[in-house]
Every structure is written in structure tokens, then in C-alpha cells.
Amino acid sequence: MAYSNDGSNQRQMAAASSDASEAKRDVGELEHEIARLKLVCAALWELVKEKNSLTEEDLVAKVLEVDARDGVMDGQMRRTVRKCVQCQRTVPAKQNKCMYCGTGQPIGSAFETI
């Protein structure tokens, strides 16, 4: 004797379809954001290059330097931990205050707060 579980299967299929649509929408938004960031980066580079007589080689060298700062040459910037300026305990890069002693931490660059 076999029984049908079509209602449950249909609900699962509908949920999976909804999840897939949401993921597709999210990917589209990310692609749009990446395209916008590429445009802004290109415009900024052109301005900097024009105003400072820099070359593509200068840009490549700086990209490699920044990439190496986190200790891994992988084409990404990763947050790292740092030492508290007061108690020397480990403080996550995104924290502005030490969770142990409460001392405010200096921010090394604007990118550390992202």
C-alpha cells in the first residue's frame, strides 16, 4: 500500500523556488554594487593619476603592498586582530574600545572600520 505525500513535496518545492528567487535577486544586487564600485574606482584612479602624474605601475605596486599587509597575498583585505594600546590584550580590528580595560583604540585607516 503506497500513500501520497504530494502536499508536503509541493510545499518543499515552493519553498526551494522562493529561496532560489531570493538568491538570484541577491546576486543581482551584488553584481550591481560591484559594477558601481568598479566605476567609482576607475574614476578615482583617473583623478589621482591626472593630478599626481602616477603610472599604472605605481598603482600595481601599491595594490601589492596593501594586499601584503594582512600577511597573505590573496587579492583581499582581511581584518586582523591588534593589541590594545593600554593592556596589550587582543582586540578585534572592528572594535573601537578594548573589551578588557575600556581604552579607546586608534583607527589605522578608514578601511579597518568597514
Residue 110: per-residue pLDDT:
45
Residue 46 and residue 92 share a domain: no
HEC profile for the chain? Answer: CCCCCHHHHHHHHHHHHHHHHHHHHHHHHHHHHHHHHHHHHHHHHHHHHHHHCCCHHHHHHHHHHHHHCCCCCCCCCCCCEEECCCCCCEEECCCCECCCCCCECCCCCHHHHC
Mean pLDDT of all residues in the chain? 87
Residue 88 and residue 60 share a domain: no
Residue 87 and residue 56 share a domain: no
Residue 65 lies in a domain: yes
Q: How many domains does the chain have?
A: 2
Residue 106 lies in a domain: yes
Q: Give me the percent of the chain exceeding a pLDDT of 90.
A: 61
Residue 35 and residue 85 share a domain: no
Q: What is the pLDDT of residues 94-112, one digit of tens each?
A: 788 999 999 998 876 544 4
Residue 83 and residue 73 share a domain: no
Q: Are 82 and 93 in contact (CB under 8 A)?
A: yes
Residue 2 lies in a domain: no
How large is the average pLDDT for residues 68-90?
85
Q: What is the pLDDT of residues 24-78, one digit of tens each?
A: 999 999 999 999 999 999 999 999 999 999 999 999 999 999 888 877 889 988 7
Q: Are 70 and 77 in contact (CB under 8 A)?
A: yes
Residue 1 lies in a domain: no
> Range of 13's domain?
7-77
Residue 31 and residue 86 share a domain: no
Residue 72 and residue 24 share a domain: yes
Residue 112: per-residue pLDDT:
45
Query: Per the structure block, which three cell numbers stand in for 95?
Result: 572594535
User: Of the ranges 10-24, 59-73, 77-91, which is most confident?
Assistant: 10-24
